[in-house]
Amino acid sequence: MMMTIMTMLTRTILISALLSSAAYAQQAPPQPAPMFDLGPGPVLVPLPPNGCVWAGRPFSDGAGFCVADKVMQTCTIGKWSREINSEGCHGALVDTR
């Protein structure tokens, strides 16, 4: 009888140790820290009448900028249009800041 109790006690201890070690081994790995902070989110800026949006920024009707050598992007009545062979952009470098 004493041997049966000792055997059951030993088995119970071994099984408990096995289950607790398995539960520890299955913990989720820690998440890596983000490379950059995206911040609180986008900021809504009012759009001027007949304005356009470029890269999240509002532009007024008639605004324009160079997107390549001799290529000007212009806001016209709420839509972007491109003027090819624009002398206003002769030799201009693209600035996408």
- Cβ neighbours, 10 Å, residue 91: 7
| Residues in the chain, pLDDT under 70 | 1-3, 17-27, 34, 36-39, 41-43, 91-97
Give residue limits of the domains in the chain: 52-87
Q: Rounded CA gap, 54 and 65, in Å?
A: 11
Q: Rounded CA gap, 51 and 90, in Å?
A: 25
